[in-house]
A = this chain, B = another copy of it.
Amino acid sequence: MEKIPPEIMAQVASYFQVLSEPTRLHILNLLQEGECNVGEIAQRCGYTAANISRHLSLMTKQGLLERRRQGTTVYYRIADPSVYALCELVCGNLARRLLQAAQVSGGWPQDASPMEHQGEP
């Protein structure tokens, strides 16, 4: 249907990879309320500032965040709000999947792995 060049594929993969970390998603969630500095994000996430700074740097490099310096502190904010649309889409997929699994199987809301009973009698 469409031959997609490998560099584009790699770019898209990189973008998704930025979103594939709970800590980074946590940061994005915090920043939904508005811009925030490194120290506070670190404190609220429960990690060291060094660690959070790395995550922020990565997300900025990927175009998700923007930096603003004021005095000695650095504030980060969302650069492209459409990431939230992505997250909601994924949440929707997951919810649909869980619902479906619950209907079919019985109803453990947690720890889904409905892959075993497929075609083995």
Interface residues of A (CB under 8 A from B): 1-2, 4, 6-17, 19-22, 24-26, 29, 32-33, 60-61, 63, 67-69, 80, 82-83, 85-87, 89-94, 96-97, 110, 113, 115, 118-120
CA distance A11 to B87 in the complex (A): 11
The oligomer's copy count stands at 2
CA distance A89 to B17 in the complex (A): 15
Structural contact, B97 and A63, CB atoms closer than 8 A: yes
Q: Which residues of the partner chain B approach A85 to less than 8 Å between Cβ atoms? A: 89
Q: Which residues of the partner chain B approach A82 to less than 8 Å between Cβ atoms? A: 89, 92-93
CA distance A21 to B6 in the complex (A): 11
CA distance A73 to B71 in the complex (A): 64
